[in-house]
A and B are shown apart, each in its own frame.
Chain A
């Protein structure tokens, strides 16, 4: 595995009975890159991602995440990655502060580190007013921003985002992506799945999954050239329609 590779995937396959959810996919994600993992519902995105974050064992194939093998070292992977899912990453009945303390705690941060991080986060996201509010009282956009920051609490090498911007308005999505850029600039590798094709344009590299296979993999610009398309949306439609 090369020094600058964050994720290295080789013929990764997952079968559920006779059904092949993920069919021998291979790709590399460079360090500090924003990697867009696209595909229609049921294309196998989530299954592939679950194997990479160590909660699903591959049927065959191999992958290294942050330098650890998914088959043999899933526990080490868990320590070096952050994860935010399409459902909520925060507890609604806990305050923002309590959420930060809890997630910092389960990733093994000391009380001092947690306090520092919280202070930093409150400053950055301007949370002064709401830090002691219950998460349930916050608007969706806020929750997602905080959830993302919480996923970064323990300074993971790679952050996995599973459809992080589902259900929010374009402005909030824009703000969310600014946060993603900020994290990527600091050297964090971002692995993001999304439905929104406009978001694919923001990525450094994009892979498109169709029926368990990766059908296209390149920078958005090159993909558009390759498929002779105006936007990523067109690329996707051309691929999905075969």
Chain B
């Protein structure tokens, strides 16, 4: 045991004396969570729009005021005729134009309907879609207020309610994903690099000749990263709670346990990578290409798995991150208990065991 503590101490010296690894360990989690939280967002905020008002009456003025007073839009320009629409989009900053038809108010009161055209700049399809939805919602809201006293029979008005993330904050969606990426990166990449480094420098040989057993060497190399990954998980959770007001509906304790499980899964992957790579560069490339990309693309972090083609959906099942993201979202956003996520937990446990057995085998073959 004493030998072991000495070993871990040495490992911490390595980590704290290498500015690069320190940066990856602590700079990156904070930078990533801030980036995803603040910069990369699906929400719309103060989008510039232009108005082409062909009627200029009380109703249209009211609608325009409503749009302007919402935090989503700010009205940049009023244009006079349809020919200007093209020009204003080309200038770039206006993302949508609302075109009210002539005699809007009159038509509304006599014919019971009036038209407004929403033209959006679809060079960015997601934003365009969101804008048109938001505008429609504001318009619908307005019609409801003016129709308050009139009873219209047989009308279906769907009332959507987004549960678990009522305000559709994208940061809520990103935090579980970022947490997954960071834990994966720190655990898998850092351990695989640090183990291959010993191989590359030739010190691994010295360690194997010493009375330390091979598994003691590996565990000794891994333990510091378990510790650091837990610190990272805590930093991420604290940031998301206090900076982004993200709720943790479920039990923090359960979240902690599941995070430790995922850390161990990633570490065992890291060990596996280190058994197949000889140099630090290889270890890094395998970790980045083999782990990061699938985590970002196939785990459901950014792109929903259900809308992927079937082969990709099947592949996504073998990515540990997918299951961890389900678990984290479940605990943080839905507040579910263990009974709802035991299946995912079991899958992670199974994967971990598989990686450990496989790397033990590979490790032995290499020694021969």
Contact = CB atoms under 8 A, between A and B. Distances in A.
Contacts, number: 72
B158 interface: no
A89 B198 CA distance: 11
B35 to A, nearest CB: 31
A107 B3 CA distance: 7
Nearest to B15: A93
A157 interface: no
Contacts of B203: 87-89, 91
A85 interface: yes
B3 A87 contact: no
Contacts of B213: 75
Interface string A3-28: 00000000000000000000000000
Which size bracket describes the interface of A in this complex? 20 to 34
Given A56-B367, A83-B206, A101-B6, A106 B211 contact: yes
B208 A91 contact: no
A55 B9 CA distance: 25
B10 interface: yes
A94 B12 CA distance: 11
A101 B206 CA distance: 15
B209 A53 contact: yes
Interface string A36-57: 0000000000000000011111
Chain B: interface size category? 20 to 34
A93 B7 CA distance: 14
A81 B206 CA distance: 11
A87 B201 contact: yes
A78 B210 contact: yes
Contacts of A54: 209
B14 A93 contact: yes
A105 interface: yes
B10 A89 contact: no
Interface in A48-70: 53-57
A35 B13 CA distance: 37
B205 A93 contact: no
Contact of A88 (B9, B201, B368): B201
B111 interface: no
Given A78-B211, A107-B211, A85 B202 contact: yes
Contact of A75 (B10, B205, B211): B211
Contacts of A187: none
B80 to A, nearest CB: 71
Interface string B1-31: 0110011011001100110000000000000
Given A55-B367, A106-B211, A89 B206 contact: yes
Interface string B203-226: 101111111110000000000000
Contacts of A94: 10, 13-14
Contacts of B6: 101-102, 105-106
A172 B365 CA distance: 39
Contacts of B14: 91, 93-94
Interface string A90-117: 0111100010011101111000000000
A105 B46 CA distance: 63
Interface string B352-368: 00000000000000011
A106 B207 contact: yes
A174 interface: no
B207 to A, nearest CB: 7
A91 B10 contact: yes
B210 A106 contact: yes
Contacts of A87: 201-203, 205
B368 A57 contact: yes
Interface string B168-197: 000000000000000000000000000000
Contact of A79 (B201, B207, B211): B211
18 contacts: A55-B205, A55-B208, A55-B367, A75-B213, A79-B211, A87-B205, A89-B203, A89-B206, A91-B14, A91-B203, A93-B14, A93-B18, A98-B10, A102-B6, A102-B10, A103-B210, A106-B7, A106-B212
8 nearest A-B pairs in the assembled complex, by CB-CB distance: A87-B202, A105-B6, A83-B209, A93-B17, A102-B10, A79-B211, A78-B211, A106-B210
Given A105-B3, A106-B6, 14 more contacts: A55-B209, A78-B211, A83-B205, A83-B209, A85-B205, A85-B206, A88-B203, A93-B13, A98-B10, A106-B3, A106-B211, A107-B210, A108-B3, A108-B211
Interface of A: 53-57, 75, 78-79, 81, 83-89, 91-94, 98, 101-103, 105-108, 160
Interface of B: 2-3, 6-7, 9-10, 13-14, 17-18, 201-203, 205-213, 367-368
